[in-house]
Amino acid sequence: HNILQSPLRPDVCIETCESLNSSPASLGPSEHSDSPQSEPLTLEQTDIEKQQQSKDSVFFRDGVRRIDFVLSYVDDKDGERKQERRKVYEANLQKVGLELETEDKSESEDGKISFVKIHAPWEVLATYADVLKIKVPFKVNDIPDNSEMPMNWLSTPFRLPEHIMHPDRDYFTAPFNKSKSDFFLIDDKKTFFPPSTRNRIVFYILSRCSYLRDECGDKDKKGIKRLLNNGTYTAAFPLHDCRYWKQSKDPNCESERNNLYKHWAGFLSFFKEQPLNLVRKYYGEKIGIYFAWLGFYTEMLLFAAIVGTICFIYGFLTYDDNVWSKEICSEDIGGTIVMCPLCDKKCSYWKLNTTCTSSWQSHLFDNVGTVFFAIFMGIWVTLFLEFWKRRQARLEYEWDLVDFEEEQQQLQLRPEYETKCTNRKMNRITQEMEPYLPITSKCARMCLSGATVLLWISLIIACIIGVIAYRLAVYAAFASIMKDNPTAHLEVVGPLITPQLATSVTASCINFVIIMILNLMYERVAVWITDMEIPKTHLEYENKLTVKMFLFQFVNYYSSCFYVAFFKGKFVGYPGDYEYMFGKWSKLRNEECDPGGCLIELTTQLVIVMTGKQVWGNIQEALVPWLMNWWGSRKARNHPESLYSRWEQDHNLQGFGQLGLFYEYLEMVIQFGFITLFVASFPLAPLLALVNNVIEVRVDAWKLTTQFRRPVAAKAHSIGAWQEILNGMAILSVVTNAFIVAFTSDMIPRLVYMYAYQPDGEMNMKGYINNSLSVFNISKIPLDNRPEDGENPFWFDSSFTTCRYRDYRYPPGHEKQYTRTMQFWHILAAKLAFIIIMEHVVFLVKFFVAWMIPDVPSDVRARIKRERYLVQEYLHNYEVEKLKIQLSQNGHNECTCAPTIYPSLARHEVLSECL
């Protein structure tokens, strides 16, 4: 049953009659090019056929041959050249054994798009499964599964049906060998290779098939990706097997998409386990490994969220032990301490007890539990990464990826590299001429790329400096406006509305908006400069883009948090000698931390940026594809099933794209940074991440199942470059959390005071607030720093001769007045000692835990060894039996050679992966 193109009308496909004596599966590559054409079907016959058979099917019109891939195209102004390319390309596809069937544009719902359906018969599948070394079953797994956990009945509510969790039996597998096909467990050739493997094989062929005639001699003009880039075809995709909300009416169709939708993509299934084996079977290992990692990350977040919540509750329950906050709120202590102005001109003198509320809020996060949680998260990160390696090793075995060589799939030349590189050189392996980029051009492009990245990072830093300048300028305005604000008299929210809070919240919101805008701009810039570098392979392209995008987003998302954590309040000076951001001419005095500390402001910054990013990301991921699909399919929504074909339904969906998973990983890695780098300031960050990820798993599953075309199945044995990025962030998080506890929180100054400077020698915090504030003579404050007339509160008069500020300096009249006290140096030494001790303790525990936990579980290692042993044993027995049969047939005279493995492949096809 062949579909051949007419030499007179290349845009028309003529369907030939099927011979009664031949079956589609028996047609070899040589039979396709020599098949005679038959008379075309009349219009009446075609209409009858359309009415008799539903078009919502994944089979050819004969109902037997499966559609493994679909190409779509639209005739336009440049139609003749594109038509010629399609004609030659499709003819070459038929020469290698693929079978084609065309749906004319007159049969589509918009009357513009034509579709070419592709089927790979057994001969083609077997040949290329041999080339790609695809593993297939040869023996049922006979190792008993002893993975039952004690109290396993507790997990019953979270389980899925067995046929969903394990759609296939467990087999021992070996790389397919066409010449030994009877060695493998082949029950039915039509279903031996699952649809995901079939579309992967067809895409492999499509990526290497030429679209020029042999006599043209240009071997680089090949591949479906280049045909998509130049507009010859508008789309190329495998089909979903049914509509997602109901099963297919065809009993031969698996309806796995519907199972995924019901048991995986539904939001009501958020507490259920993921059917990873079904995901892998339907979408391939690369997507399966992403969801396995995301699910495992979410599971591990549960433990971090529980500990973080306990630390937060500890801070809440120890309110009564918070002596320093009581002193701040006390009318006898905090009510009598007059503080120096926090800004020039517009800020007035103020009493310490006005920061009572922020002091209580700060205690929720700045307590002994913070230190414990920072150390715990350093160990948690190690456990997460080590246990993931074990889970990944188990998946590698279960999904037949143990001996997978990623280079086999990823090292093929990019079409853009072949197009833009006009120079040629000899490949030492293939001994063929191939394109290459001269070293001078490569260096120039790398320099330009690096300069562009530095320029954009500088732009981010400039924006952050602009936000800091906003904070400095606006704080004075808020302080002046809010001194007589009527909201201050409100019972609940009145004490919360302060100039510090107003400045922090508005600055964080502005910073978040700037982050989102820069993100949108830089995504295009990163792709542009990566394209400009002309990476040779797809793996190289993804790695270059990963580094650029992560570096940019790292600076974009975390720079404001780094400023609040490590710079704000650290370079302030003191009354009479303040530090200014751009020098004294700018009149932008550096920000101070209030007596409650800067930790509460870091918490505010973290909550706004992290929560805003997660909410916006989920809305964007779910809403944008849905709106685009709703708009694209508005004309066809009311079509009956018999007219709205499966290929048209999928064509109206969004393309997942080669970098679809890239952005998913990037989003999760940035979140990982928030909950590790700054978790000491906000113990509830893992809880927020957990809630987000429970939703994220189902949102990603929903959009992949319902809003996107089926991606081409691809293999991947790990999460790739993201593993190293996570390892780097895990190490950096120990350092940042140690510095946050030491320099951002007040934990160390309090401990030094309690153990060394408590005047009564008692182990308590009485007198800490008075001890931590230095004294300055008001008369010595320069005129430029003094409040303007009318700014001071009603209670301030000439009887107040001194004001207090947050520092450790000698008082006026002392021989070393306004210089650092010895207590300051003791606190600094204690902070540095704490950083060194905490880092060494956490790193020692991390390395010990990493050493104790093997990367590959012992039972998986044993299964791998047994499988390799069985492959060797069974192959040996198979060869011996085969040799006995040959010897008996030939009468011990001679031994015939084994049939060639790749009878229909040209030399360059077999060696196409060798670069």
Token look-up 């079978």 returns 99
3-state secondary structure of 605: helix
pLDDT of residue 900: 37
CA distance 824 to 353: 24
Helix axes 368-398, 660-677, angle to 10 degrees: 150
Return the structure tokens found at 523: 């995504």
Return the structure tokens found at 808: 């450790």
Residue 199 structural domain: 54-134+176-239
pLDDT of residue 877: 87
Residue pair 55/651 in contact by the 8 Å Cβ criterion: no
User: Does any domain span residue 110?
Assistant: yes
Token look-up 């404001």 returns 560
User: Does any domain span residue 500?
Assistant: no
Nearest to 374 by CA among 100, 565, 165, 143: 565
User: Does any domain span residue 209?
Assistant: yes
pLDDT of residue 263: 93
CA distance 365 to 771: 22
Q: Which helix (H) or strand (E) holds 70?
A: strand 69-74
pLDDT of residue 594: 63
> Which residues make Cβ contacts (< 8 Å) with residue 789, sequence separation at least 6?
none
CA distances, 876 to each of 383, 869, 880, 900 (Å): 43, 11, 6, 19
Residue pair 17/113 in contact by the 8 Å Cβ criterion: no
Nearest to 515 by CA among 658, 389, 670, 371: 670
Nearest to 821 by CA among 580, 596, 574, 589: 574
Please count the other Cβ atoms lying within 10 Å of the Cβ belonging to residue 780. 12
User: Does any domain span residue 223?
Assistant: yes
Burial class (CB in 10 A: 0-12, 13-18, 19+), 369: buried
Q: Taking the mean position of all CA atoms in its chain, how far away is CA 477? A: 41
Return the structure tokens found at 570: 């650290």
CA distance 885 to 891: 10
Return the structure tokens found at 911: 């060696």
Task: Give the CA dihedral 756, 759, 761, 765, nearest 10 degrees.
Answer: -80
Q: Which amino acid is residue 602, in one-letter code?
A: L
Give the count of domains, the chain: 1
pLDDT of residue 439: 85
User: Does any domain span residue 232?
Assistant: yes
Residues of the chain with pLDDT under 50: 1-52, 215-217, 407, 409-410, 486-494, 895-915
β strands within 741-812, DSSP E: 773-777, 802-806
Q: Which helix (H) or strand (E) holds 447?
A: helix 439-481
Nearest to 715 by CA among 112, 315, 342, 288: 288
CA distance 575 to 805: 8
Task: Give the CA dihedral 73, 76, 78, 84, nearest 10 degrees.
Answer: 40
For the chain, the distance separating the N- and C-terminal CA atoms, rounded to the nearest angstrom, is: 38
Write down how long the chain is. Answer: 915
User: Does any domain span residue 589?
Assistant: no
CA distances, 43 to each of 14, 107, 868 (Å): 12, 11, 58
β strands within 130-255, DSSP E: 135-140, 171-175, 235-237
Helices (H), 318-339: 323-329
537, β-bridge pairs = 413
When computed from its CA atoms, the radius of gyration of the chain, rounded to whole angstroms, is 35
Condensed to tens digits (0 to 9), the pLDDT of residues 251-273 reads 888 889 999 999 999 888 888 99
Q: Taking the mean position of all CA atoms in its chain, how far away is CA 311? A: 29
β strands within 376-476, DSSP E: 424-426, 433-435
User: Does any domain span residue 117?
Assistant: yes
Nearest to 601 by CA among 306, 359, 396, 793: 359
